[in-house]
Amino acid sequence: MQGQAVRTVLSASMLRCTAASSGAAAACTSAFLTPWLAQATRSVQAPADPNRPVMLLTPNNVWCIGRNYAEHVRELGNEPQAAGEAPMIFLKAGSSVVPPGPIHLPAWSSDVHHEVELAVELGHDLQPARAAVALDLTARDVQSKLKSKQWPWTLAKSFAGATPLGPAFNLNGVDPAKLWLTLDVNGKRRQTGRTGDMIFSLDTQLTYVRKHFPVVPGDVLLTGTPHGVSRMAAGDEILARVLGPEGEVLSEAVWHVRGAPGINHHNSNHHK
């Protein structure tokens, strides 16, 4: 389902949901959109307007919010943070950013996971300016070893190509709390999440990061991943999207996974 027909059907259903109370409306919206999102088919990777050039983000720094979706926290064997606690922050090098295209797995990890996220770029006033779909690639086997030693996660999170970023869209008139994230591997849905389910809202994240770190215009904030993360294998095709509240594609990108030379990354048994 694409284009005007999709928007017409979605808009009508969203209007029916809006007529309900706030709690019932949220449940109604989720009940209608979730099946549609789960069945969404692959579309051509291109801007909504073919005459509009693709805009890519090129940050100096990538500030990341860890453990920001409760179900993802639990799938990795952790407990969500309590209300009032500070968000977990880690930093990825801006030089780890790659555009849509190939992803090259590092030779020293056999368990690199995809994590789809909403990336938010900060403008000259350090306010949200643009956003894009992003992947926070994580060498999970390396991360586990670093955790056991109580060492930073840099090697597992900031290797070359660890931060794929898709085409950017302007945030004017867009509510970042009413978006959807999806990720497909070889045509099968692996991750679906609502930005409204974040433990720490975008405002909370930005307030904390601006207060504690030397943030500069053009920096990007990765806002966390929903559940469903899993191992990537050489040959995989990754399709990631940010969708608007009516299912419209705001940012879409395709990445093709490549193995390191001489290393067997072709095991098709994906796992979390």
| Residue 31: partners with Cβ closer than 8 Å, 6 or more residues away | none
| Residue 135: partners with Cβ closer than 8 Å, 6 or more residues away | 103, 114, 115, 116, 117, 163, 164, 183, 238, 240, 255
Q: What stretch(es) of the chain map to CATH 3.90.850.10?
A: 54-258
Fold of 54-258: Fumarylacetoacetate hydrolase; domain 2 (3.90.850)
Tell me if residue 243 falls in helix, strand or coil: strand
pTM over 0.95: no
Q: What is the pLDDT of residue 52?
A: 57
**Residue 93 and residue 212: Cα distance in Å, rounded?**
18
Q: What is the pLDDT of residue 53?
A: 66
Low-confidence ranges of the chain (pLDDT < 50): 1-48, 268-272
Q: What is the pLDDT of residue 42?
A: 38
- H helix or E strand, kind and range, residue 154: helix 154-157
Q: What is the pLDDT of residue 265?
A: 57
Tell me if residue 86 falls in helix, strand or coil: coil
Q: What is the pLDDT of residue 54?
A: 75
Cα three-residue angle 257-164-56, rounded to 5 degrees: 130
Tell me if residue 34 falls in helix, strand or coil: helix
**Residue 17 and residue 245: Cα distance in Å, rounded?**
12
Pairing between β-strand 249-258 and β-strand 237-243 as defined by DSSP bridges: antiparallel
